[in-house]
Chain A
């Protein structure tokens, strides 16, 4: 790190500290490229709050998400990556340098990697916001323990919904899994796993979630619609866990010149570079990403190599 015009200046600042960011940091720091990461949430990103990861290569018995996140963090720090807990609020292109407004003050970097990932989407139904953290949840590994011997509703039909519903059977007496479509989008392996829990998990296909109803400050039921019968249905429950897809953590980019797609994911070229030279994107935040941890790690490595290429042959005012 150096000081230019009294602003701390780094070779690379990575925004985020999920699998893409940490993998990129492993690569850049091993090349002796000074690297600072900014994380506003949890190190490891969504991977860290996932109960068990079975499709990340190298772990034949699967690996707990938190364990994988901690291992990636340690590996990046081993080579000199520094993780700052704080938030980047704006990226300003100043040519050779990019200035970042952060909760720790302004910083500059020669190259920036946006790897802020995504977060679980809200359903957007009445009661969801009102009962947030008081019966409506988006993190099973954080909040599942409050539902020992209680009934739960899990909303969603993808990998996260099925994986976390299975995790929640450790605590809950019964789970109603509400799936809007007529089939699950979860992987075949997870669907086979789900079959082992028919005594605890009931899957309701073609069922929308319309309202979360509470009484005396507690969630008591979910109202939905059986789309086939066209009938209203209701599920008594003590809590609702929502896993209905992902939305990009790109709000802070809306004031920058970085182009986003119509949903808000970052557009890049084939070198993972945004239209601002020196600003790259990798992992779940990138438009077209596959939302897989293994892919995010791969993109992180690719981005790091592209950043190295970008930095080579440019003025090198930052001496580490």
Chain B
């Protein structure tokens, strides 16, 4: 089980909605950083992912290791939060 899940999103991003929907359906809670409301966080999102895109999901595990998932990618997201 993940210790913390943070999703970088924007208001109009449909794939972000899918990540939230999937995590919610699996019973995971998560934090949201909305880049439309907090544009100053864009550089942080880019640094974490190396990509100019959302969603970016940062999964912090129990041992404090981190996994960064770009996009709505279930093959990476599901094992990361397991």
A133 to B50 CA separation, bound complex (whole angstroms): 9
A48 nearest in chain B by CB position: B14
A44 to B74 CA separation, bound complex (whole angstroms) = 17
Please state if B74 and A86 are interface contacts (CB–CB under 8 Å).
yes
Residue from A51, A70, A137 in contact with B52 in the complex, judged by beta carbons closer than 8 Å: A137
| Contact present for B15 and A142 (CB under 8 Å) | yes
- Chain B nearest CB from A227 CB (Å) reads 30
User: What residues on A are CB-neighbors of B53 within 8 Å?
Assistant: 133, 137, 139, 142-143, 146
A42 close to B (CB within 8 Å): yes
Q: Across the A-B interface, how many residue pairs have beta carbons closer than 8 Å? A: 78
CA distance A66 to B18 in the complex (A): 11
Q: Given A41-B72, A85-B22, A133-B70, are A145 and B36 also a contact pair (CB < 8 Å)?
A: yes
Which residues of chain B from 27 to 82 have any CB-CB distance to chain A below 8 Å in the complex? 35-36, 39, 42, 46, 50-54, 70-72, 74
Tell me if B17 and A66 are in contact (CB < 8 A). yes
State how many angstroms separate the Cβ of A206 from the closest Cβ of chain B.
Answer: 29
Q: Which residues of B contact A41 (CB under 8 A)?
A: 15, 18, 72
Within 8 A of A (CB), among B8-25: 10, 12-18, 21-22, 25
Q: Which of A66, A135, A146 has the most CB of B within 10 A?
A: A146
Interface size of A by CB at 8 A reads 30
- A69 contacts partner chain B, Cβ-Cβ < 8 Å: yes
One digit per residue, 1 when the CB lies within 8 angstroms of any chain B CB and 0 when it does not, for chain A 131-145 equals 001110101011111
16 more contacts with CB within 8 A, not counting A142-B53, A143-B54, are A40-B74, A41-B18, A43-B21, A65-B14, A66-B17, A85-B18, A103-B74, A134-B50, A134-B52, A135-B52, A137-B53, A139-B15, A141-B10, A142-B16, A146-B53, A147-B52
Cβ contacts A to B, 29 pairs, < 8 Å: A41-B15, A41-B18, A42-B14, A42-B15, A44-B14, A48-B14, A49-B15, A51-B12, A64-B12, A70-B17, A85-B18, A85-B22, A103-B74, A134-B51, A137-B52, A139-B15, A139-B53, A141-B10, A142-B13, A142-B16, A142-B54, A143-B52, A145-B36, A145-B39, A146-B42, A146-B46, A146-B53, A147-B52, A148-B39
Q: Contact residues of A with B, CB < 8 Å?
A: 40-44, 48-49, 51, 64-66, 69-70, 85-86, 103, 133-135, 137, 139, 141-148, 239
Closest 9 CB pairs of A and B: A48-B14, A141-B12, A146-B52, A133-B51, A133-B53, A42-B14, A142-B13, A145-B10, A143-B53
